[in-house]
A and B are shown apart, each in its own frame.
Chain A
Amino acid sequence: MPTFVQMTRCDGCGQCVDICPSDIMHIDDTLRRAYNIEPDMCWECYSCVKACPHNAIDVRGYADFTPLGGSVRVRRDEEKGVIAWRIIFRNGKKDWDLLAPITTKPWGTAIPDLKTATAPSDDMINSQLLYNEPKYIRFDERGLDTLETNGLSMKEGVYY
């Protein structure tokens, strides 16, 4: 279900227009307030919801995730480096605040300086791992998983 803008909260600053990956948040030409021009194309990434400095954007939740009458709202506090969620059940019995860090260092201070990094060796170039691929995406020191290492092979055709 797509995003929608509370017009009385929006000040038409353009942060949502700037950040929307689908380019569907636009400014109404008469009222100078943001709106979702193509709700069908919205994938509910919440980028605009989090970027809005006035918390003017909300999402109509999917029936399984946020049943009608329930509420999932979010505030992303850049200066504190945290994101806060509030979940309200539709029966009103649960009103739940959640808080999580989104950065551990001030914004813009932990960008890798790739110009000064040492050049990759031939082994690294020939490896299927990407440069600087985070170590934590693997939980062990084995090589890459391939069809061969897992005893599999490609078969021609379509199988069900």
Chain B
Amino acid sequence: MITTNPFAELTAVSDYITPGVMQAFVVVMVAFVIIGTLLDVMHKKSAKYFYEYEEKMKKYAKRDASNEKASLLAKTITNEVLTSSEFSNPKRRMSHLLTMYGFIIFAISTAVMIFAYPEARGDATPSIWPLLWHLGALMLCIGGYWFWFAIRVDVFSEGHKWYEIDPIEDMFVLSLLFTGTFALLWSLTNGYGLFFALFVVSAVMLFGGVYWSKFAHMFFKPAAAYQKKIFWADGSREKLPDVPDLSSPETKKRFPDIPKYMGENPPNMGAGIRREPPNHY
């Protein structure tokens, strides 16, 4: 069951859902993402914001970091993009990684099965692709439902119940979850039509709703992380102060209150307010 290509099975039972129709559907979904993202950039003026913010911060730069841009970009890709290091909460990071990689694996294996093996029924499709498709959907569901029921800040910090749903505001998360869920249900029920219909509707909501949802964050978040790294490298630090090494002679000389009240080598004072998670709503 999980080693067969569900899309190839589909072409055999329906006269209308041909490989061409499925391929056109994928192309339309990709077009939805591109158009939705561009509209989102225009509406929020994010590109203009990034440019203007960079120009503004140049005034406060203390050194030239232009020759470090390539290494900072590589660091952004390995840290923020590939391993979601921006999340300070490890549970949120784990949930995000599961959802993100689940979605990527699911989307790639879907495209491969629809474009490369649209009519390869039974064992004709290399079993790795259907396996990856099911694994991706499962990862998406684990990460997504964990987020929806327990980690989501609306539930965790704001005291909302998990079933308090706003169709527009929660469209991105729910359509993502429903896409993975109905894909699995459709496959596990051997192609039950209702689940397939719901899978298609969820996918259309997910990709067609880019303009109204936070789907576009996958483009602007890496840009923001890269920009932040540049600001810290060139010393402008977004106008934030430096927190120096407290035991260094320069710090002690410049800020005599530090050794006076905290001693020559101040200890690590611990996590402070971060000793407890932020759920005291």
A contact residues vs B (CB 8 Å cutoff): 8-9, 11-15, 17-19, 26-27, 29-32, 51, 53-55, 71, 73-75, 77-82, 84-86, 88, 92, 95, 97-101, 103-108
Contacting residues, chain B, for A30 (C-beta < 8 A): 168-169, 172, 212-214
Contacting residues, chain B, for A103 (C-beta < 8 A): 269
B contact residues vs A (CB 8 Å cutoff): 49, 59-60, 86-89, 92, 152-154, 156-158, 166, 168-170, 172, 212-214, 217, 220-221, 223-224, 227-228, 237-244, 246, 251, 254-255, 257-258, 261-263, 266-275, 278-281
B273 and A51 contacting across the interface, CB-CB below 8 Å: yes
Contacting residues, chain B, for A31 (C-beta < 8 A): 214, 217
Q: Separation in Å of the A98 CB from the closest CB of chain B?
A: 7
Contacting residues, chain B, for A27 (C-beta < 8 A): 153-154, 157-158
Bound complex: CA A82 to CA B157 (Å) = 27
Contacting residues, chain B, for A15 (C-beta < 8 A): 273-274, 278
Nearest B-chain residue to A72, judged by Cβ: B239
Q: Separation in Å of the B155 CB from the closest CB of chain A?
A: 10
Contact sample, A vs B, 9 pairs, CB 8 Å cutoff: A12-B153, A13-B92, A32-B214, A54-B86, A74-B241, A75-B241, A75-B243, A79-B270, A86-B240
Contact of A75 among B168, B217, B240, B246 (CB under 8 A): B240
B214 and A17 contacting across the interface, CB-CB below 8 Å: no
B269 and A79 contacting across the interface, CB-CB below 8 Å: yes
Known A17-B153, A106-B267; judge A77-B214 contact (CB<8 A).
Answer: no
Bound complex: CA A19 to CA B279 (Å) = 10
Known A55-B238, A77-B243, A108-B270; judge A99-B258 contact (CB<8 A).
Answer: yes
Main secondary structure of the interface of B (DSSP, over half): loop
B278 and A17 contacting across the interface, CB-CB below 8 Å: yes
Most chain B CB atoms below 10 A, which of A9, A32, A54, A103 = A32
A98 and B241 contacting across the interface, CB-CB below 8 Å: yes
- Total A-B contacts with CB atoms under 8 angstroms apart: 147
Nearest B-chain residue to A30, judged by Cβ: B169
A13 and B60 contacting across the interface, CB-CB below 8 Å: no
Contacting residues, chain A, for B274 (C-beta < 8 A): 15, 53, 78
Bound complex: CA A13 to CA B274 (Å) = 11
Bound complex: CA A101 to CA B256 (Å) = 10
Most chain B CB atoms below 10 A, which of A9, A26, A74, A82 = A82
Q: Separation in Å of the A70 CB from the closest CB of chain B?
A: 10
Contacting residues, chain B, for A78 (C-beta < 8 A): 269-274
Q: Separation in Å of the A77 CB from the closest CB of chain B?
A: 5
Most chain A CB atoms below 10 A, which of B153, B238, B271 = B153
B243 and A82 contacting across the interface, CB-CB below 8 Å: yes
B153 and A13 contacting across the interface, CB-CB below 8 Å: yes
Bound complex: CA A101 to CA B7 (Å) = 64
Nearest first, the 6 closest Cβ-Cβ pairs linking A and B are: A78-B272, A14-B157, A8-B224, A18-B278, A86-B241, A81-B269
B241 and A100 contacting across the interface, CB-CB below 8 Å: no
Bound complex: CA A106 to CA B273 (Å) = 12
Bound complex: CA A149 to CA B122 (Å) = 98
Contacting residues, chain B, for A101 (C-beta < 8 A): 257-258, 261-262, 266
Contacting residues, chain A, for B269 (C-beta < 8 A): 78-81, 103, 105-107
